[in-house]
Structure 1
Amino acid sequence: MSRPRLSTPIAVLPPPGRLARIAALGLCLLAATSPARAEPVDIPDGECAVIVASRRSMAEVRDFIRANPDAAGETPSVYLSRNGWHAISRGLLRQRGADGVLDRAKRNGLIPRDAYCSTGRVYTSRIPLQATSRNPVELPPDSLVEEVPATRDAATLDPRRMFDARPLSRDDKRALQAALALSGDYTGLLDGQWGRGSQAALNTWSQRRMGRDARMGDVMRLGAEARTILRDGGWRMRRAADTGLSLALPTARLRPGKRDGDGLGESWEDPETGLSFQFGTVGDAALRRIHARFAEAAAGGRRNDPPYMLRRADRWVSSGTLGRGLFYLRSDRRAGGWGTVVVYGPSSAKPEIGLVASSIREGGPVALEPDPGGPLDLLIDRWNGAAPRDPAPIVSPRMPEPAPAPRNTGGTGTGFLINSSGVYLTNAHVVEGCRALSVNGIPARLMAESAGFDLAAVEAIMPIAGARPLPIADRPAGLNSDVTIAGYPLHGLLGGLNVQRGSVAGLRGPGGDDRLIQISAPVQAGNSGGPVIDNDGAVVGVVVAKLDARKVVDALGDMPQNVNFAIRGALARSFLEANGIPFRRQSSAVAQTRAEAAAALDAATALLECLP
């Protein structure tokens, strides 16, 4: 099988259209149909193989090629190294001038930043790739390479051993990459693929901290330090609303921010670090305007430090110094425009900005922390001097128990009307992953959502007869004040709207979470997103969760009664204001009778259904 020969920077990647056709065909690589056998390494003198990644097993090689068709190229080659690893090459270059070609390709985002050119002296053989449309790359039948499973073997986890990433899972490797991004040593993607760039970053950190290359014990300290930062800030991977992208966010500290009028529909701030985040999908004109605004401001302020700019048919990236701060801006082409993420903040937040930039990915969220009970988790626990702790007997505010139907499998929740335009407020976890939504059976669209506050706004495409909006309270509910909730719990078992009364039992949620209030009104699955109103009929909260009774019984031997939680009405008001969504405000404080409260809730509360 012939290999591509790269002679110019333009030849590093096939045209975008061609790449799309290759990806659409499932990477049907060109190969002979005879059984695959290891072949001699035949890199000619004066030439070198462009290595874009190294993987332990052929299974990982297949995963990389499927996930990175642009980096792997149209007809990649695989070389078996003396250490048992597999080097993935996208073609050959003449050694003379190869560095310039690779540098230009890296700057343009065409190949990974840690790609390099190898003369092949450390390779023992070349492994051909077989492919069909159903099985893109086959493992050669005579391969001597075996899968290396994750292990908890004491020798493998010996802190004195030189670092070896092979026992680690993909989540473990991604967690280490996140830790190195926070330390400022890693600028690649958090992809869980451990290559030369990841290893070089780890060795740089270890040389700076320990004066030597990394050992297994070093990742104990690195991982423990990163875990503290991530947990203190509530850092989680979350979807950036209406962009098709996910990224790492300090969810425990986020507050609504100001929008800049460029069509970015969601804005958040982290008061502790000074970071600002903006998300949204924009058109071509807004794309050029946003990137030009940041790039020109950066170029004007630091003429000796020009901004980094990438302009591709499917992705734009701009980053650099802006005044006394830093910014990172990425836009990915998607149906209907460009999914765009902007993050900027002071220079002191450079590690956090690096983490966010590295974490941005297409599709849904992934883990930032190691596999529970896995090798890296055990090493970190060993550093902390404690065994892994049992989970707390309180569920996350985003996961009521009994829980709503799992994501992407459909389910129901509750929402309530907030204005005369047919906009309903609910929980983000009610609408997450839904292919289609309906409000009382009428099709609806998602307008805005916030994973940090677990709030979402949904608009029905046509008015619902008899519906009347509820006002949002202009003051918080007091301790022990009476409240009434409404919703559609256990839909299919119970019939119609369910109204319950209770009181404000606490002014904070689990662990002192000041986003929540505790209520005593009974809550069941399906109540999520329902209104909590005070005696004047104004919304003082949005039902979100209940205490996990089973875990409390297991931990304490006592059955909790009606310990439930709602998102504060003030946060609902801030969410709506930040997204420019009008809502009915409380105009007066006139106490309602129970019958009047029930009638108002009946006119405003609706059943939300999610179609996966």
Structure 2
Amino acid sequence: MQPNPLRPAILAMLLMPTLPVVAAAQAPAQNRFQVVNRTGQEASSVQAVRTGRGDWGGNLAPGPMPTDKALTLRPDADSGCRFDVRLLLADGREAMKRDQDICATPRVALEAGDVRAAAAAPAAPPATQPAPGRPNPQARNVSSGSGFVVAPDRVLTNRHVVDGCDRIFIRTADARMLPAVPPARVDAGLDLSLLAVPGNPGPALPFRSGPAVRRGEGVIAYGFPLPGLLSSDPKLTRGEVNGLNGLGDNPAQYQISAAVQPGNSGGPLIDLHGNIVGVVVSKLNAGAVSRRTGDIAQNVNFAVKGAAAAEFLRRAGLSPRMADSTGTEQGAADIGEIANRSTVFIRCER
């Protein structure tokens, strides 16, 4: 018997990550909270924004807010629990509290001890420096990948997509560019990374809870392959689950025939019921296989299993959405519309 040319020692050489270089919170149960002015003087403006946002937004009060008065606010259901709150006072000072958990304490009181001199407006950054919270168009070492929303303000992708990044930006389906907030939660073995992205990057996609995935099931890969060469809009490719284990019998991966390219890394693999069954991670390096076996492998790609990804999210303190894949399957175009709302482009600046 001839020795197996795909020895475990060379398995890593045969995988090609699909990343190119190119140049836990739940909504408040009652969905409302109160801001109370206890500073001892009238407030000219009341502002409350989700923690991590780069600006304060507009005045939320219909008029000046007297002391000892409360204002009830009703944020969107998917806004999460952590808010920064500020009062601008009649004497020009401000009262502020940051990172308030409105789910645990839906009443934020600004006291006299919270009053301080109003911060001066930041100076405009030099033309040679990137503006805070915005991509740097002059960055020389930029790479990209794909990701998808798994919970309010949380995006899942591959670790190798964001490994070593100094700054990470998420482009949403409605073309907003949102900065990711460090640190990321990482599982190096699974090659997964969970990013915090304040700003509502999109609705969370559900993970498949059952039945078990079978060989031959239809799946769809969705993401942003070959940015800078292909158009900037997301791409949909359809294929099948070819094998229930990855390269070298990796039990945490599926082998799939849905075509993926550099840039697809971290994107969702979705079944025909609209549920996540995997996270696209790599493709077989056809050149390396050819040099070792004399044959050219065709369309051999891999995805981290959805069950493994969902368990990673639970370890990170999230409760991923789960759904059964039963009933009538949907068409690829319908699945694409579901995926599009929640799949994001990831820009990494080093």
Q: TM over 0.5, yes or no? A: yes
Secondary structure at the counterpart of residue 463 of structure 1 = coil
Q: Deviations over 1:33-57 (max 9, x none)?
A: xxxxxxxxxxxxxxxxxxxxxxxxx
1:492 counterpart residue number = 228
Kindly indicate whether the alpha-carbon contact (under 8 Å) linking 2:14 and 2:285 is maintained by their aligned counterparts in 1: no
One-letter code aligned to 2:224: Y
Structure 1 residue 462 displacement after superposition = 0.9
| Cα distance change on mapping 1:456 and 1:393 into 2, 3 Å | closer
CA distance in 1, matches of 2:246, 2:280: 12
Report if aligned partners of 2:11, 2:248 keep a CA contact under 8 Å in 1.
no
Q: Percent identity?
A: 37
Q: In structure 2, what is the equivalent of residue 547 of structure 1?
A: 284
Instruction: Provide, for residues 471-505 of structure 1, a one-character-per-residue CA deviation record: whole Å limited to 9, x for no partner.
Output: 01113421111100101011111111000000000
Q: CA–CA distance in 2 between the matches of 1:436 and 1:477?
A: 36
Q: Which has the larger Rg?
A: 1
Q: 1:486 to 1:544 in 2, by over 3 A?
A: same
Which residue of structure 2 aligns with residue 14 of structure 1?
none
Given residue 209 of structure 2, which amino acid in structure 1 is its aligned partner? D
Superposed counterparts of 1:215-226, under 5 Å: none
Q: Aligned residue for 1:433?
A: 164
1:460 aligns with 2:197: yes
Amino acid at match of 1:412: S
d(CA) in 2 for partners of 1:390 and 1:473?
31
Deviations 1:84-106 (A, max 9, x none): xxxxxxxxxxxxxxxxxxxxxxx
Matches of 2:8 and 2:221 in 1, distance apart? 33
Matched residue, 2:330: 592
1:410 maps to what in 2? 142
Q: Which residue identity does 1:537 align to in structure 2?
A: G
Q: Which residue of 2 aligns with 1:351?
A: none
Contact 2:159 2:187 in 1 (8 A): yes
For residues 25-75 of structure 1, the C-alpha deviation after alignment (integer angstroms, 9 at most, x for no partner) is xxxxxxxxxxxxxxxxxxxxxxxxxxxxxxxxxxxxxxxxxxxxxxxxxxx
Aligned to 1:133: none
Give the corresponding residue for 1:580.
317
SS across alignment from 1:597: helix
CA gap of 1:423–1:393, structure 2 versus 1, over 3 A, is closer
Aligned-partner SS, 1:575: helix
Shift of 1:405: 3.0
Task: Tell me the CA shift for residue 409 of structure 1.
Answer: 3.8
Matches within 5 A, 1:86-125: none
Q: Secondary structure at the match of 1:474?
A: strand
- Indicate how the Cα distance of structure 1 residues 410 and 506 shifts in structure 2: closer, same or farther if over 3 A, else same: same
Deviations, residues 331-364 of structure 1 (Å, cap 9, x unaligned) = xxxxxxxxxxxxxxxxxxxxxxxxxxxxxxxxxx
SS state at 1:586 partner:
strand
1:136 alignment partner in structure 2: none
Question: Closer, same or farther in 2 for the Cα pair 1:472/1:396, shift >3 Å?
Answer: farther
Structure 1 position 396, deviation (Å)? 6.4
Q: Encode CA deviations 1:2-33: one digit per residue, 9 max, x unaligned.
A: xxxxxxxxxxxxxxxxxxxxxxxxxxxxxxxx
Q: Are 2:21 and 2:144, in contact at CA under 8 Å, matched by a contact in 1? A: yes
Aligned partners of 2:340 and 2:217: how far apart in 1?
22
Measure how far apart 1:587 and its partner are: 5.5
Distance 1:390 1:529 in 2: 24
Structure 1 runs, 4 residues or longer, greater than 6 Å off: none
Matching of residue 472 in structure 1 with residue 221 in structure 2? no
- Matches for 1:63-142 after TM superposition, within 5 Å: none
Cα offset for 1:413?
A: 0.5
Structure holding more strand per residue: 2
SS at match of 1:576: helix
> For residue 344 of structure 2, what is the aligned residue in structure 1?
606
Q: For residues 371-403 of structure 1, what are the alpha-carbon distances to aligned partners after superposition, in whole Å with 9 as ceiling and x for unaligned?
A: xxxxxxxxxxxxxxxxxx996365366x516x5
The answer to whether the 8 A contact 1:393-1:555 is kept is no
For residues 504-583 of structure 1, the aligned pairs below 5 Å read 504-583=241-320
| Local SS of the residue matching 1:499 | strand
How far off is 1:468 after superposition? 2.4
SS at match of 1:405: coil
CA contact (8 A) 2:14 2:284 kept: no
For 1:445 and 1:592, how far apart are their aligned partners in 2? 35
Aligned counterparts of 1:566 and 1:509: Cα–Cα separation in 2: 8
Distance 2:304 2:311 in 1: 12
Distance 1:470 1:390, change over 3 A: closer
Contact 1:393–1:552 (Cα < 8 Å) also in 2: no
Q: Residue type matched to 1:493 in 2?
A: L
Matches within 5 A, 1:142-157: none
1:523-562 residue CA offsets vs partner (Å, 9 max, x unmatched): 1111000100111111010000110100111122221111
Amino acid at match of 2:205: L
After superposition, what is the alpha-carbon deviation per residue over 1:421-441, rounded to whole angstroms, capped at 9, x for unaligned? 121110011111111111102
Q: Counterparts of 2:310 and 2:264 in 1: how far apart (Å)?
A: 20
Instruction: Structure 1: give runs of 5+ residues left out of the alignment.
Output: 1-388
Distance 1:435 1:455, change over 3 A: same
Residue 49 of structure 1 is matched in structure 2 by none
Measured in 2, the distance between the counterparts of 1:581 and 1:396 equals 33
Instruction: Show CA shifts across 1:187-211 (max 9, x none).
Output: xxxxxxxxxxxxxxxxxxxxxxxxx
Contact 2:219 2:239 in 1 (8 A): yes
- Code of the aligned partner of 1:609: R
Q: 1:607 Cα deviation (Å)?
A: 0.1
Distance 1:552 1:536 in 2: 34
Distance 2:218 2:261 in 1: 19
Q: TM-score, normalised by structure 2?
A: 0.58
Q: Secondary structure at the match of 2:318?
A: coil
Tell me, in whole angstroms, the C-alpha distance in 1 between the residues paired with 2:249 and 2:300: 14
Q: Which residue identity is paired with 2:263? A: G
Q: 1:442 to 1:563 in 2, by over 3 A?
A: same
Which among 483, 486, 491 is matched to residue 219 of structure 2? 483
What does residue range 151-550 of structure 1 map to in structure 2 within 5 Å? 392=10, 395=13, 399-400=16-17, 403-405=19-21, 409-419=141-151, 421-440=152-171, 441-446=177-182, 447-464=184-201, 467-475=202-210, 476-495=212-231, 496-550=233-287
Between the aligned partners of 1:390 and 1:579, the Cα distance in structure 2 is 30
State whether residues 238 and 332 of structure 2, in contact with CA within 8 Å, keep that contact through their aligned partners in structure 1: no
TM-score (norm 1): 0.34
RMSD: 2.2
Structure scoring higher RCO (CA < 8 A, sep ≥ 6) equals 2
Given that 1:499 and 1:598 are in contact with CA atoms closer than 8 Å, whether structure 2 keeps it comes out as: yes
Gaps of 5+ in 2: 1-6, 23-139, 172-176
For residue 600 of structure 1, report the CA deviation from its aligned partner. Answer: 0.5
